[in-house]
Structure 1
Amino acid sequence: MSPNAGDPLVAGAPQDAMVPPILRYALGLDQDEDGWTSSRGAAADPFAGAKSQDAHPFGKPSYPGGASDGWGQPNALVVSGGCDKELRVWDVKSGYCIYILRGHTSTIRCLKVLHGRPVAVSGSRDRTLRVWDIQRGRLLRVLEGHSQSVRCLDACGNRVVSGSYDCTCRVWDVDTGACLHVLRGHFHQIYTVAFDGVRIASGGLDTTVRVWDASSGTCLALLQGHTALVCQLQLMPTMLATGGSDGRVITFSLKGATFSVVQRLAAHDSSVSGLQLDDRFLVTSGNDGRVRLYKFDPPLFGNANGVAGGTGAGAGMGAGAGDGADPQCSFVRDMCDASESVWKVAYTRETCAVLCKKAGKMVVEIWSFKPEF
């Protein structure tokens, strides 16, 4: 085994090497349409066969978080990373950890699995990003350039955007390891980025959001409205949603040359910890222990069958609300009883998973969106 290879855990591994059943269900993320998880031992090039999308010049946006594409099926790979400096690759069907990936020298702060490819990208306090082949459990390359901790990243096709405490974002070509652009303009640490293949949004401790052109690296807009750290972002083709430590959620219209505020929501009593929207719904979570559901009227894309989640979807380029007035979202309900804290929310058209702390224990709650409210 090469020095950069992962450490496989064979069948019969100890119980602590298994994904808890409730977490397997909540993260039941299927293999993608190319079925690359079905031949884990193959020697295929993980960068072969990447598809381009008309709406995204660099390919399709990655699935949010460290998991392969799709929901609700058993044949998934989930990738986790944390303070132990290691990434673990989990087989959801069996529940076993199949690889431990070592190389980072400090806490792993962020990671993404690329769409349609068995490749994960991780960012760390050691100031580097690392690109991994999760099918074969090996390091592919190290991306160096940041001078301080890498706090956040997002990906689309073969492009990755990283945000750092050095107040810059960097755009990388994952295939070559080249840094294509350095985005400068923030005056304080960057905590969150979103990338849809066309535009990049970044937010941080200076309370501002900046929108960038992904191809040229030029700043398109400086957006203000938060009074504290901007910690959550999501890009859609016609709308940007932001969440801050001030408890506010702000939606901005991205139509035309001028990006304007659509709505300001006093969503939480403390920091916004999660934010996700599609053409119908906006779901937010906060450190106040609440998960809140809002509904867009009219739908963002003028239909009821939009694609949920991520940091942008090509389907959103169609006709709909983007051709007229900007849609407003109205509060529907709190989705669960108050928790001690909520760490993450993720949903599709029908199901929402909430990772929270209740009575001192980690709990995953599964909520149904049907019948529609």
Structure 2
Amino acid sequence: MSNQPNQHANQPSTYPLQGITAKYDFKLSDPDSKLRDLRASKERSDKQTPSSNELHAPSANVDTVKRKRIWTLGEDEESTGTESCDDMMASDTDTNSMVSNNGSILALLRENRLIHPPKRRLTTSEAVNEAILNSISTGGSISTPSTTVSTAANSISGPASAVVSGTANNANLTEVVVPRTPTAFNSPSNTPISEIEEDSDITGEIVREEEGELNQSLSLPLPSPSASPVSSYNKDITPITSTDANINTTDYQLVPSSVPATQAELLRMIVGLSGYLNEKNNNHLIFKLLQNVRRSTLSSFNDIIRQSLKRDLISNLPLEISYSILKKLDYKTVCSLSRVCSNWNRIINSTGIWSDLLKRDKLVTGDEEIERELKYERDELSKWSTIPNSPNLNYVQLLFKKRRIILNRWMDPKYEPKRISVPGHGTNGSNVVTCLQHDDEKIITGVDDKLININSSKTGKLLKVLKGHEGGVWALKYTGNTLVSGSTDRTVRVWNIKTGKCTQVFRGHTSTVRCLDILHPVKIGTDDNGEDIIFPQTPLLVTGSRDHNLHVWRLPLVDEDDTEEDDGKSDPIEVDTSGSNANDLDNPYLVAVLSGHTHSVRSVSGYGNIIVSGSYDTTVRVWDLLDGGKCKHILGGHQNKIYSTALDFYNKRCYSGSMDATINVWDFEKGKLLYTLEGHSSLVGLLELSKEYLVSAAADATLRVWDPETGRNLSKLEGHTAAITCFQHDNLRIVSGSEKMLKLWDIQTGKFVRDLLADITGCIWQVRFDYCRCVAAVDRSANDTRETFIEIVDFSTPPTS
């Protein structure tokens, strides 16, 4: 044994912690402190707060509690110490028996200074008390080597941890001191129960005694080893007698009766005694034990400890909280987390998380767009999966992947998109494209040569040519399968897009129909009963003309089921149908005529019941359809013609761009000017408003991005060399066209990204884009000839194609 330390010192690789000094909480703390110190500190804290049983017990029970303290502490400690109520949890039979015998028992205990520590859930009968008294008075012995207390008269069952001994040859009474059950604060309650602690001999003996060996017994429910280490080592403790002058009985020192004979006994003693250590010294003991452990065992401990210290902050939380956390992360972090483990992957695979990411990253406009694509584009989405035939595809996640990849392609100058050029426009390629609309299926263009062309968005193929107008088409919009167009022939025509038929002709304007807008039913407020107010009840069409007036019509929607599918083999359908002619006075679809402007109406914007019109007469007028189309306000402030307007219905604001190079911001509810946005040096011909940005384009070859709430200029986009002829923006990008240039900008940073078309030789007439493709009407000049092309720039080619 004496050579062992040297052996450890010579084998640092075998015992890596040997000789290392303990640090931090592993140092020995208060080595000279007594075992009773922890007990005394607990008693002082418990004394400040009496238990609920003591506060509410009747006088007899209060007296019982007091006597129980005397039983525990002895006469000399009665006035200085109090016992914790947690250690005094006696049953009703215990209280009654102690009350009936308190006189004789307490007198003898005080006289002989017998101190007996309390036990948890202790039940004492009158027979046990009588046996103890007889043993004390006759000098007999009460021993419990195997949980049995013996006297001359009878045998009494007692707790395995109680040791009361005397000597047959010595008439002096023996004072028994046994360790208290350690408190839960220091008890190794989280230690797994070992086989040694579950000693079958001890527990079996207790069970046998409880089953009937004694009619009256001192019964103690067997505590778990982690809660009461006293019972696991009591056989190795030697009683401390009052005749030993070197031992103070109030210090509760523990002296083993003999050297443990087996490893099991030694381990039982160490485990039991460790319960009396405070937290720091317990750590110190553990560290000392680890110093004698081999490297392989330390490695096993390390794995166990590391696993026990891990906390799964995602899987262990309620799903609502986990989703709330994940929704705050960017998509790259979420994708990385999904690869950590299967549980995280399962949680992150939720459709709700990816729906929120789609909206937060502005890849979709709302839930309606998600639902629409999931309903009609599942086959297309499958092409973006690395495992397209998997039955467990998360289509919302695939939609996010698709939209994000496409956006990255837009913003990567090195990426070459698919490009389709459609030569000629109708029979005369030299005509100007005055208006352009498109979606995933079709491109609709109006030309100043009386024609309306419909091309395929994916192939560029000319599908239909709509003929009927007698003058150039200068205004065009559609909703669903219904197309509306305004022309220099002073008429408004309604078309069925799929069949190419003109279903209505509205007459009434006396000059060119220059602008139009469609008002859809929307919620505009609530009534006195809290019910939603929806206006208009059916879609309305508002047209503005050079005759100074605006007309409001009920829009006759064409039958969505009236379809004529294109098989790709037949020639384009040319339709020349006059439709239903209706004069202004007897047209059943006419709702109102808005008169008041003194010059051409150049721009119109509407939403709900509000219409805002801008005119060459330098004024903006606000019309309320709920009030019969009455003009609510005439907003005067510009010094020159107004070319563009924008409306923010819910914030009660409208915007107007003028030839005087300014943009005015109005409160249309109060009819007053809020502020003027200055910066452009020429005609502000184009305005476009989104939730976060107001973008203006001017003849000074620049675009400006504004904060629509504060009017702050966020960025100035410079790069064009001529007046901006067209542009469009969303919350991510801006596409602008001018002479020989079609440029892409990052709207969030205001930085130029790339030229979308680098071989332009003429003007960009119109441009529109969606998330996957950009469509532009381009004028090309070559050999003294001019020809108009439709250019389709497509970023949506699936990676698996």
> Same fold by TM-score, threshold 0.5 exceeded?
yes
Which of 428, 449, 455 is equivalent to 1:22?
Answer: 455
Distance, in Å, in 2 between the alignment partners of 1:203 and 1:132 is 26
Alignment check: 8 A CA contact 2:482 2:497 kept? yes
How far residue 363 of structure 1 moved from its aligned partner, in angstroms, is 2.9
Would you say 1:275 and 2:727 are equivalent positions? yes
Would you say 1:131 and 2:543 are equivalent positions? no
Which of 239, 249, 264 is equivalent to 2:703?
Answer: 249
2:662 matched to which residue of 1? 208
1:196 matched to which residue of 2? 648
1:215-259 deviation digits (Å, cap 9, x = unpaired): 222211111111111101112233211100111101112344xx2
Which of 668, 680, 684 is equivalent to 1:230?
Answer: 684
Distance, in Å, in 2 between the alignment partners of 1:345 and 1:174 is 32
Which of 133, 144, 151 is equivalent to 2:595?
Answer: 144
Would you say 1:330 and 2:751 are equivalent positions? yes
2:693 matched to which residue of 1? 239
Alignment check: 8 A CA contact 1:282 1:329 kept? no
Alignment check: 8 A CA contact 1:22 1:364 kept? no
Would you say 1:83 and 2:481 are equivalent positions? no
1:353-368 counterparts in 2 under 5 A?
A: 353-359=775-781, 360-368=786-794
Distance, in Å, in 2 between the alignment partners of 1:100 and 1:24 is 28
Distance, in Å, in 2 between the alignment partners of 1:66 and 1:20 is 12
How far residue 108 of structure 1 moved from its aligned partner, in angstroms, is 1.4
How far residue 107 of structure 1 moved from its aligned partner, in angstroms, is 1.2
Alignment check: 8 A CA contact 1:19 1:90 kept? no
Alignment check: 8 A CA contact 1:113 1:119 kept? yes
1:116-157 deviation digits (Å, cap 9, x = unpaired): 553211111100001122317732221101011111111122
Alignment CA distance shift 1:68-1:152 (3 Å): same
Alignment CA distance shift 1:101-1:358 (3 Å): farther
SS of the counterpart of 2:478? coil
Task: Give the letter for the 2:550 counterpart.
Answer: L
Would you say 1:104 and 2:556 are equivalent positions? no
SS of the counterpart of 2:750? strand
Task: Give the letter for the 1:182 counterpart.
Answer: I
Alignment CA distance shift 1:168-1:205 (3 Å): same
Alignment CA distance shift 1:357-1:349 (3 Å): same
How far residue 158 of structure 1 moved from its aligned partner, in angstroms, is 2.3
Alignment CA distance shift 1:101-1:23 (3 Å): farther
Which of 715, 728, 734 is equivalent to 1:263?
Answer: 715
How far residue 332 of structure 1 moved from its aligned partner, in angstroms, is 1.8
How far residue 82 of structure 1 moved from its aligned partner, in angstroms, is 2.2
Alignment check: 8 A CA contact 1:146 1:166 kept? yes
How far residue 333 of structure 1 moved from its aligned partner, in angstroms, is 1.6
Alignment CA distance shift 1:196-1:363 (3 Å): farther
Task: Give the letter for the 1:261 counterpart.
Answer: N
Alignment check: 8 A CA contact 2:777 2:789 kept? yes
SS of the counterpart of 2:633? strand
2:770 matched to which residue of 1? 348
Alignment CA distance shift 1:200-1:93 (3 Å): same
Identity across the alignment (%): 35
Distance, in Å, in 1 between the alignment partners of 2:593 and 2:648 is 23
1:28-43 counterparts in 2 under 5 A?
A: none
SS of the counterpart of 1:227? coil
1:3 matched to which residue of 2? none
Distance, in Å, in 2 between the alignment partners of 1:293 and 1:81 is 30
RMSD of Structure 2 on Structure 1 (CA): 2.6
Which structure dedicates a bigger proportion of its chain to strand?
1
Alignment CA distance shift 1:243-1:17 (3 Å): closer
Task: Give the letter for the 1:20 counterpart.
Answer: N
How far residue 114 of structure 1 moved from its aligned partner, in angstroms, is 1.7
How far residue 23 of structure 1 moved from its aligned partner, in angstroms, is 7.8
Distance, in Å, in 2 between the alignment partners of 1:355 and 1:134 is 28
How far residue 115 of structure 1 moved from its aligned partner, in angstroms, is 3.0
Alignment check: 8 A CA contact 1:111 1:153 kept? yes
1:9 matched to which residue of 2? none
How far residue 361 of structure 1 moved from its aligned partner, in angstroms, is 3.4
SS of the counterpart of 1:328? coil
Task: Give the letter for the 2:659 counterpart.
Answer: L
Alignment check: 8 A CA contact 1:19 1:95 kept? no
Alignment check: 8 A CA contact 1:23 1:364 kept? no
Alignment CA distance shift 1:92-1:263 (3 Å): same
1:263-301 deviation digits (Å, cap 9, x = unpaired): 111242222122221111111122x042211123xxxxx
How far residue 369 of structure 1 moved from its aligned partner, in angstroms, is 4.0
Alignment check: 8 A CA contact 1:124 1:149 kept? yes
- Higher-Rg structure is 2
Task: Give the letter for the 2:556 counterpart.
Answer: Q
Task: Give the letter for the 2:728 counterpart.
Answer: Q
Distance, in Å, in 2 between the alignment partners of 1:283 and 1:165 is 27
Distance, in Å, in 2 between the alignment partners of 1:339 and 1:107 is 31
Aligned residues: 282
Would you say 1:295 and 2:743 are equivalent positions? no
How far residue 110 of structure 1 moved from its aligned partner, in angstroms, is 0.8
Which structure dedicates a bigger proportion of its chain to helix?
2
1:25-83 deviation digits (Å, cap 9, x = unpaired): 88x9xxxxxxxxxxxxxxxxxxxxxxxxxxxxxxxxxxxx74334xxxxx522211121
Distance, in Å, in 1 between the alignment partners of 2:617 and 2:451 is 37
Q: Which stretches of structure 1, 4 residues or more, deviate above 6 A after TM superposition?
A: 23-26
How far residue 97 of structure 1 moved from its aligned partner, in angstroms, is 2.1
1:7 matched to which residue of 2? none
How far residue 86 of structure 1 moved from its aligned partner, in angstroms, is 1.3
Alignment CA distance shift 1:347-1:223 (3 Å): same
SS of the counterpart of 2:455? helix
Distance, in Å, in 2 between the alignment partners of 1:224 and 1:66 is 31
Alignment check: 8 A CA contact 2:613 2:620 kept? yes
Distance, in Å, in 2 between the alignment partners of 1:173 and 1:151 is 19
Task: Give the letter for the 1:329 counterpart.
Answer: G
Alignment check: 8 A CA contact 2:642 2:658 kept? yes
Distance, in Å, in 2 between the alignment partners of 1:133 and 1:186 is 32
Distance, in Å, in 1 between the alignment partners of 2:478 and 2:517 is 9
Task: Give the letter for the 2:622 counterpart.
Answer: V
Distance, in Å, in 2 between the alignment partners of 1:269 and 1:224 is 21
Alignment check: 8 A CA contact 2:457 2:792 kept? no
Alignment check: 8 A CA contact 2:717 2:752 kept? no
Alignment CA distance shift 1:17-1:285 (3 Å): closer
Alignment CA distance shift 1:253-1:17 (3 Å): closer
More displaced stretch, 362-371 vs 147-156: 362-371
Alignment CA distance shift 1:165-1:122 (3 Å): same
Distance, in Å, in 1 between the alignment partners of 2:687 and 2:669 is 20
Task: Give the letter for the 1:178 counterpart.
Answer: K
